[in-house]
A = this chain, B = another copy of it.
């Protein structure tokens, strides 16, 4: 099936290379297609790793192994297979992952636990070992490539390639970050989502890299949703090669730690937004800010209840400022709320305040705002100081077409 490029797509940014990271792609032909579908990022010795993974109870072997490897904190390679998620494939699936880890480790002269593997695509078909073996052999010999080519090779139903970059000053050292990501369906909250990778030449101790990644994840990837459906393979990994020469970051007290975190957060947020912008069938990008909640986490849950409501999402698709459906979603979230203190606005205009429609509500600026591509919704619960912002897209005929009209 040929998918049209999302109307919310962004051009691929001009990302610089990251010292200590070499990218290569090859054709393993995991599906019957003629495109690069196997991506290899070679990482300099000494690269530290942090990772966040799906909370699915049916996670793939890649996720199970990756979780253990991230705990060790050392990475020399990342392999990404596109076209087959290898999830729900039992011991045969696990054997395929272990084969890839061993093959790459032997070529690089490192431990298999330093080789991270991700797979994305159809669930329930074991990753073919022969294709994987030949593909890995080819990718080890391939010419180095750039970020856009790698971002393209990890994609499946994505309609555009997605990357983001940032830099930060760590004392005298400028460090660079580059990230790529894939995902457009089976995207849901409450965990690291999709396949996303952030690379930096900064020196960051693994435990602290993990801490910062988890914190950034909570405010970015865990705050987006396309369809409320959580993948069995979601993975976000951060690799720090240390080639920038800064004194390794080990805690928030270190010079440049805040600057580095700000850059990491920005890259994660940019990548998360790009996934929403490629949400299946998306025509509008929706930012929902919830304030006045009992806690930040409660605000996030309320935001996601709104963002996951098919009635809210279809209303936005139709340009309808149907704040009654927002009331419904707040009510069903299960979070503390007081109907008579609830306020709802669109694009900076309040439609309802303190549990009642505004007497002088002017729908004209709201209707105008909803005609646009970037929609902003404000929901104030009026009971506390908790706040969160979440992002989603609208629900359109395109989503149905992609997921029902075509066979997977």
| Interface of A toward B, CB cutoff 8 Å | 54-59, 85, 87-90, 92, 122-125, 185-186, 188, 227-232, 308-311, 314-315, 317-318, 320, 322-325, 327-340, 342, 352, 354-357, 394-397, 399-401, 403-408
Determine whether the beta carbon of B310 is less than 8 Å from that of A399. Answer: yes
Chain B residues with Cβ below 8 Å from A188 are 332
For residue A299, give the distance in angstroms from its CB to the closest CB of chain B: 14
- Residue of B92, B186, B340, B397 near A328 (CB, 8 A) is B186
Determine whether the beta carbon of A328 is less than 8 Å from that of B406. Answer: no
Identical chains in the assembly = 2
Given contacts A310-B228, A317-B400, A408-B320, contact A56 B332 (CB under 8 A): yes
For residue A230, give the distance in angstroms from its CB to the closest CB of chain B: 4
Chain B residues with Cβ below 8 Å from A309 are 228-229
Determine whether the beta carbon of B327 is less than 8 Å from that of A124. Answer: yes
Nearest 5 A/B pairs, CB to CB? A123-B324, A58-B331, A56-B331, A314-B403, A230-B332
Chain B residues with Cβ below 8 Å from A125 are 357
For residue A253, give the distance in angstroms from its CB to the closest CB of chain B: 36
Considering the chains assembled together, what is the distance between the CA atoms of A336 and B57 in angstroms? Answer: 7
Considering the chains assembled together, what is the distance between the CA atoms of A333 and B55 in angstroms? Answer: 10
Closest to A188 in B: B332
Besides the known contacts A59-B339, A123-B328, 13 further A-B residue pairs in the complex with CB atoms under 8 A apart: A57-B333, A58-B328, A88-B357, A89-B357, A124-B352, A185-B311, A188-B332, A315-B408, A318-B404, A320-B407, A322-B408, A395-B404, A400-B400
Chain B residues with Cβ below 8 Å from A228 are 228, 308-310
- List 29 A-B pairs, Cβ < 8 Å: A57-B331, A57-B337, A57-B338, A57-B339, A58-B330, A59-B339, A88-B355, A90-B354, A90-B355, A90-B356, A123-B324, A124-B323, A124-B356, A186-B325, A227-B310, A227-B311, A228-B308, A230-B332, A231-B328, A232-B328, A310-B310, A310-B403, A314-B399, A314-B400, A315-B408, A317-B400, A318-B404, A318-B406, A318-B407
